[in-house]
Structure 1
Amino acid sequence: MKAADADILIVPGWLDSGPDHWQSRWERNLKSAARVVQEDWHAPQKDAWVANIVAAVDAATRPAVLVAHSLGVIAVAYATSKLAAGRVAGAFLVAPADVDNAQSWPENEGHTWPQDSFGFAPVPLAPLGFPALVLTAADDPYCSQARAQEFARAWGANFVDVGQAGHIADQSGHGPWPDGLLRFGKFLGELKG
């Protein structure tokens, strides 16, 4: 599959992805990409986020490929049970946020994750039902690599260790993230349309 053969749905995490974040850059540069917009990026409600992902997948005119980051990955994991069979060709899941251990998360852009997880905990551990790739860094402050590997196994996803890359966001130097784009292209190439 090529990017033009899919509706690439960008699913940002908590606080959204700013203009320099790799997700925003991909959205601007991939003609078939669109962001799944959430009503509240600062106090996210799981059910609302899941409903918006489901609506975006339902509205897709080509096979959907989800490109999620951080809390967006967890929202995708919750959405899978509500998605119509065969509508999602695959999911590229970057730096999942371990909401079960959110009390250890650092401050992000002056915001602290409240103790109430907005319904996102516990992390769902059911198979996704479509091909997926989980990419995480060894030093991600929002999720240990052991937990990310546990998620990948439970979801039936392949796992990639991207090394020392923090939360794989523009704050950790991954605005353009060319290696991620290469990995995404390879992932797309392995999907069936």
Structure 2
Amino acid sequence: MSLSTPHYLIVPGWQGSPAEHWQSHWQRVLPNSARVEQDDWMQPRQAAWVRRLEEAIARAPGPVILIGHSLGCVTIAHWATQASPALLERVRGALLVAPADVERAECPQPLRNFAPLPRQPLPFPSLLVASDNDPAASASSALQLAADWYAEATLLSGVGHINVKSGHCRWEQGFAWLYRLQQRIDEHARRYA
């Protein structure tokens, strides 16, 4: 499979992404896409979520681009810290949208087992899109995660958690960041060819 036709893996966060969520819309319109399904969306366990992500990457028919939201972003970062080199090579890049700060004081109890947040650089190109008024992560926390993960950061103004509740159902504007990520992936591939 060429870089021009990647396999997209949608990685939802806590409580999953309902049918009207932008991740579900993207799954319906992006070719070669699939969702990482979890056994328990309400009481997430870090080890189980990371294992499901690993299984999905291993099953993918070719190179993958990860599209994470909220706790899904944190799951991707945890996976990257312990993944085998062979599976890491299959990931071309990651779009990380509204990552959840699981270390914040008001973090919901079911998410706390994902702390501490991984701080190691991600070993693949990544782009982090956050909001300056996201209840799941302050702007400074999101920007620090981007710096830690070596992700290109975009901070949007007043868009909340970039989910259904904040009015982001189809989120067509988000495709601009997916396109930007794919440009970074192509640049990375040329640099290391």
Answer yes or no: same fold by TM over 0.5: yes
**2:33 match:** 33
**1:158 match:** 152
- The share of aligned pairs that are identical, in percent, is 38
2:116 counterpart of 1:122:
yes
**1:67 match:** 67
Conservation of the 8 A alpha-carbon contact between 1:3 and 1:30:
no
Shift, 1:54, TM fit:
0.8
**Which is further off, 128-137 or 183-192?**
183-192
2:102 counterpart of 1:99:
yes
Letter in 2 for 1:98: D
Q: Which has the higher contact order (CA 8 A, sep 6+)?
A: 1
Shift, 1:40, TM fit:
0.2
2:12 counterpart of 1:12:
yes
**Which is further off, 56-65 or 91-100?**
56-65
Conservation of the 8 A alpha-carbon contact between 2:129 and 2:156:
yes
Deviations 1:47-66 (A, max 9, x none): 00000111111112221100
Deviations 1:23-59 (A, max 9, x none): 0000011121100000000000000000011111111
- Aligned pair in 2 of structure 1 residues 173, 116: CA closer, same or farther (>3 Å)? closer
- Aligned pair in 2 of structure 1 residues 67, 53: CA closer, same or farther (>3 Å)? same
Letter in 2 for 1:172: S
Higher helix share: 2
The residue correspondences of 1:80-99 to structure 2 (distance < 5 A) are 80-81=80-81, 82-83=83-84, 84-99=87-102
Question: Aligned partners of 2:180, 2:99: CA distance in 1, in Å?
Answer: 20
Conservation of the 8 A alpha-carbon contact between 2:10 and 2:67:
yes
Conservation of the 8 A alpha-carbon contact between 1:3 and 1:32:
no
Q: 1:14 aligns to what SS in structure 2?
A: coil
**1:108 match:** none
Return 5+ residue gaps in structure 1 as ranges: 106-112
Return 5+ residue gaps in structure 2 as ranges: none
Conservation of the 8 A alpha-carbon contact between 1:2 and 1:188:
no
Question: Aligned partners of 2:129, 2:47: CA distance in 1, in Å?
Answer: 25
Deviations 1:81-111 (A, max 9, x none): 214231100000000000001x425xxxxxx
Conservation of the 8 A alpha-carbon contact between 2:21 and 2:168:
yes
Q: 1:9 aligns to what SS in structure 2?
A: strand
**TM score, norm. by length of structure 1:** 0.89
Question: Aligned partners of 1:135, 1:2: CA distance in 2, in Å?
Answer: 26
Letter in 1 for 2:173: D
Shift, 1:189, TM fit:
3.1
Question: Aligned partners of 1:73, 1:155: CA distance in 2, in Å?
Answer: 11
**TM score, norm. by length of structure 2:** 0.89
Letter in 2 for 1:159: A
Shift, 1:143, TM fit:
0.1
